[in-house]
Amino acid sequence: MKLFNINFVKMTLVCLLVVVNFFMIAQPSWASKKYTSDPDYIEITKALESALQDKQNQGATPELQQKISNLQFQKYIIENSEESCGICRNETGKTLLVYGQKPKKSSSTYDNELYLLPSGAETDDEWDCQGVYIPAQVATEGQEATPAQAFKIVHGTRLVATSNPQTGEIEFNLPPAKIFQAGEANWLIPDNLQAALDAGVTPAKIND
C-alpha cells in the first residue's frame, strides 16, 4: 500500500461549484425520509443556526460564508439523498482506508472501524461508509507537516476520491462534514499508515 498526499485548499473551488449545482439543479427525491433524528443532522442544524447568527451579528467573512455553504450542503445531502448510507468510491490508483460500522462482536471502544477499499472499488450501498483515513504528512518544501486525520462524511454522501494527474495528490469531489485529529472524536486515527495496518484492517464491503 502506498502513502498518499492531500491538499484541502485545492478542493475549495470544486466544492463551491458542487454546492451551487446541488442547490440550483437537484430536487428533493424523497421528502418522507426520517432524518430529523439523525445525530449528524441535529448537529449540523445547530451549527448552521449558530453560523447564520454569527453572520447576522458580525457580518460575513469568506471563512464564515464557506462554513455556512458547507453546512447547508451537508444538511441538503441528508434531507434529499436517495441513500441512507454514505458511499465511498476510490479512483486514486491506490488503496484507501475508509471508516465503517464496526462488527457486532468487535471489542473496540471506538465508534467505528477502519477497512480497506481497493482502487476502482465502491462501497456497497447498504454498507455505511463514514469517511476516509488521511495518514500524517511529513514536512516538505513549501508545505508543513500535518498529523493523521479522519475525513468524515454524512449519511447519503457519495464521496469520490481521485488523484490529481499533475501532483498525484488525493482530491475529493465534496467537502468533508468534519475533519478530526486523534483525540478530537472517538474514531481510530493511528499516527501513521503502518500503525493503521498493524491494528488489523479487513476489506470493506464493496459494490459488485
Q: Hunting for cell 500524517 — which residue is that?
A: 136
Share of the chain above pLDDT 90, in %: 50
- Identify any residues that bridge with 89 across adjacent strands, giving them in sequence order: 122, 160
Confidence at 195, pLDDT banded by 50, 70, 90: confident
- Secondary structure element (H or E) that encloses residue 188, with its range: none
pLDDT at position 16 is: 46
* pLDDT surpassing 70 at residue 29: no
User: Which of 47, 178, 8, 199 has the alpha carbon at shortest distance from 113?
Assistant: 199
Under the banding of pLDDT at 50, 70 and 90, the label for residue 113 is very high
Tens digit of each residue's pLDDT (9 = 90 or more) over 73-82: 999 998 888 7
User: How far is Cα 184 from Cα 187, in angstroms, rounded to an integer?
Assistant: 8
Report the mean per-residue pLDDT for the chain: 82
Is residue 42's pLDDT more than 70?
yes
Q: What is the pLDDT of residues 115-131, one digit of tens each?
A: 999 999 999 999 999 99
87-91: strand order across its sheet: 87-91, 158-163, 170-172
Q: What is the pLDDT of residues 155-182, one digit of tens each?
A: 999 999 998 888 777 899 998 999 999 9
Instruction: Specify whether the CB–CB gap between 22 and 73 falls below 8 A.
Output: yes
At residue 20 the predicted structure's pLDDT band, cuts being 50, 70 and 90, is very low
- Asked if residues 28 and 79 have their Cβ atoms less than 8 Å apart, the reply is yes
Q: What is the pLDDT of residue 33?
A: 57
pLDDT digits (tens, 9 = 90+) for 47-65: 999 999 999 998 889 999 9
The SS3 call for residue 96 is strand
- Expressed in angstroms, the distance from the first to the final Cα of the chain is 22
Q: What is the pTM of this model?
A: 0.79
pLDDT of residue 92: 93
